[in-house]
């Protein structure tokens, strides 16, 4: 359910009903001053003090508590002393850029949950934030980076990293649905941030959250009025254009703690029901990823050719298949609807390009020198079919590549 000032609205309706009833009743039976009081009483009190404005900001941060049954169950699980794992997946904000690993919102909100509901050392922490990555890569690495730990509560944070095209919407929803369908029925909390320009992808993410009745926390909704009305400046929240500073991360933790409190005290007893149909699409649900150091039964690397498995120096992907010269392809076999290649990109002329072949036919050329690259992992969809097909894939250095760098960090496939 959305918290859209429900209590003030109900209060106003009750007062209006009382006023109307007074006007329609026998005037001799109702004291005159009763009607006067009803007409002049206010329904809400606007914030006046800094403390009241702060509380109003915290209240705005809770866009929806959704169906809290899964979260309430995990709170009780932690209280009972059972092992309970809190996992976070997102971009650089989740990773902790702008502060430290010990003072980022993920660590702080984990500690808040542990201290409020844990019984000692039974609450565990997984932070899978990875700088510069959208949900398109998040859904591909979900199994390796969070689901393998069997998390009980999962935070998803990609609102300032994602675009608003179809692949962004389907990737985000695929990640949500993949987590929701896990056997241990984890609770999901969606977190929406904003950058200095005002950009956030929360509009379609809120639609997904509403479709799945999920708890949602919006820093964008909480902070924007503070900036617009001059009670805060962006520099109070961030030291750059994107990342909360230490005080900003504390605020995010406060917003999340408020959600915990509201969910815990909710009298909603309805069981959670997973919607039968998606909102936008779940083509990338249950993605399987293979890297040089992590094999996957759905992807078989049959030859490394002119590539060699080496240390990559790329955050989140410690190894890569690195081009070592020559023209022999890197080959793999799979059966899937969709294929992604994950590679290192950078804005430098030292980066090379490769061609992708499917069953002997060239599909496309991928240039790893990209103007917005900075040495991060990047996932690119190569193929998307309506049904699963057997594939023989070859990665071949492009003609004229010379000794330019090519680093293949992994492959991912989806079969739905």
Helix (H) or strand (E) holding 46: none
Q: Give me the mean pLDDT over the 107-116 stretch.
A: 98
The crossing angle, in degrees rounded to 10, of helices 246-264 and 219-228 is 120
Q: What is the DSSP string of 82-111?
A: --EEEEEEESHHHHTTTS-TTTSHHHHHHH
Count of CB atoms within 10 A of residue 402's CB?
9
Integer angstrom CA distances of residue 374 from 9, 131, 228, 369, 379? 50, 11, 33, 10, 14
Q: What is the band of 62 on the pLDDT scale with cuts at 50, 70, 90?
A: very high
b vs e for 23-62, b when ≥16 Cβ sit within 10 Å of the residue's Cβ?
eeeeeeeeeeeebeebeeeeeeeeeeeeeebbebbbebbb
Instruction: Return the closest-CA partner of residue 316 out of 230, 359, 379.
Output: 379
Query: What local confidence, expressed as pLDDT, does residue 39 receive?
Result: 41
Q: Give me the mean pLDDT over the 240-259 stretch.
A: 98
| CA angle centred on 123, ends 119 and 125, rounded to 5° | 155
Domains of the chain, by residue range, sit at 6-40, 50-264, 288-414
b vs e for 222-253, b when ≥16 Cβ sit within 10 Å of the residue's Cβ?
bbbebbeeebbebeebbeeebbbbeebbebbb
Q: What is the DSSP string of 207-273?
A: HHHHHTT--EEEHHHHHHHHHHTTS--HHHHBSSSS-B-HHHHHHHHHHHHHHHHHHHT----PPP-
Instruction: Examine the pLDDT at 185 and tell me if it is beyond 80.
Output: yes
What CATH homologous superfamily does 50-264 map to? SGNH hydrolase (3.40.50.1110)
pLDDT in tens, 15-44: 333 333 333 333 333 333 333 333 444 466
Q: What is the band of 48 on the pLDDT scale with cuts at 50, 70, 90?
A: confident
CA distance 223 to 200: 12
Q: Are 65 and 218 in contact (CB under 8 A)?
A: no
SS3 of the chain: helix, strand, coil, percent, to 5: 35, 30, 35
Count of CB atoms within 10 A of residue 197's CB?
10
Q: Per mean pLDDT, which range of 6-15, 117-126, 220-229, 329-338 is the poorest?
A: 6-15
Instruction: Examine the pLDDT at 365 and tell me if it is beyond 70.
Output: yes
Q: Are 149 and 117 in contact (CB under 8 A)?
A: no
Fold of 288-414: Jelly Rolls (2.60.120)
Query: What local confidence, expressed as pLDDT, does residue 38 receive?
Result: 37
Query: What local confidence, expressed as pLDDT, does residue 46 receive?
Result: 83
Instruction: Examine the pLDDT at 13 and tell me if it is beyond 70.
Output: no
Strand order in the sheet with 216-218: 62-64, 216-218, 187-192, 153-157, 84-90, 123-129
Rounded percentage of the chain residues whose pLDDT exceeds 90 = 88
pLDDT in tens, 285-312: 999 999 999 989 999 999 999 999 999 9
Helix (H) or strand (E) holding 378: strand 374-397
Q: What is the band of 212 on the pLDDT scale with cuts at 50, 70, 90?
A: very high
Q: What is the band of 370 on the pLDDT scale with cuts at 50, 70, 90?
A: very high
The crossing angle, in degrees rounded to 10, of helices 166-180 and 202-211 is 40
Q: Give me the mean pLDDT over the 137-153 stretch.
A: 98
CA distance 189 to 105: 13
pTM over 0.75: yes
Q: Give me the mean pLDDT over the 169-189 stretch.
A: 98
């Amino acid at each position: 359910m959305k918290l859209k000032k429900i209590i003030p609205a109900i209060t106003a309706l009750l007062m209006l009903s009382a006023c109307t009833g007074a006007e329609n009743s026998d005037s001799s039976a109702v004291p005159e001053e009763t009607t006067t009081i009803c007409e002049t009483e206010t329904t809400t009190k606007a914030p006046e003090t800094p403390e009241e404005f702060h509380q109003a900001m915290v209240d705005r941060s809770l866009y929806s508590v959704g169906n809290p049954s899964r979260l309430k169950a995990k709170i009780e699980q932690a209280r009972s002393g059972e092992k309970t794992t809190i996992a976070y997946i997102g971009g650089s904000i989740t990773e902790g850029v702008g502060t430290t690993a010990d003072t980022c919102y993920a660590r702080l909100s984990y500690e808040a949950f542990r201290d409020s509901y844990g019984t000692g050392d039974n609450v565990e922490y997984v932070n899978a934030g990875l700088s510069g990555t959208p949900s398109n890569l998040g859904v591909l690495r979900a199994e390796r980076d969070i689901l393998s730990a069997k998390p009980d509560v999962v935070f998803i944070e990609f609102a300032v990293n994602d675009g608003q095209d179809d692949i962004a919407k389907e990737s985000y929803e695929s990640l949500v649905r993949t987590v929701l369908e896990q056997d241990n029925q984890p609770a999901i909390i969606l977190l929406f941030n904003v950058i200095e320009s005002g950009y956030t992808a929360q509009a379609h993410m809120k639609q997904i959250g509403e479709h799945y009745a999920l708890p949602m926390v919006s820093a964008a909704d909480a902070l924007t009025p503070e900036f617009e009305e001059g009670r805060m400046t962006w520099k109070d929240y961030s030291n750059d254009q994107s990342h909360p500073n230490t005080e900003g991360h504390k605020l995010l933790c406060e917003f999340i703690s408020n959600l915990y409190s509201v969910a815990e005290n909710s009298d909603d007893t309805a069981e959670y029901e997973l919607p039968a149909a998606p909102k936008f699409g779940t083509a990338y649900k249950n993605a399987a990823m293979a890297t040089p150091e992590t094999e996957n039964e759905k992807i078989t690397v049959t030859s490394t050719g002119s590539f060699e498995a080496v240390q990559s120096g790329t955050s989140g992907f410690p190894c890569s298949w690195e081009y070592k010269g020559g023209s022999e392809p890197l080959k793999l076999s799979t059966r899937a609807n969709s294929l992604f290649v994950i590679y290192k990109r950078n804005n430098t002329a030292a980066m090379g390009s490769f061609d992708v072949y499917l069953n002997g036919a060239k599909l496309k050329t991928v240039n790893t020198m990209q103007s917005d690259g900075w040495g991060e992992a990047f996932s690119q969809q190569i193929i998307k079919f309506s049904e699963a097909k057997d594939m023989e894939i070859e990665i071949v250095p492009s003609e004229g590549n010379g000794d330019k760098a090519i680093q293949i960090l992994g492959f991912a496939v989806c079969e739905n």
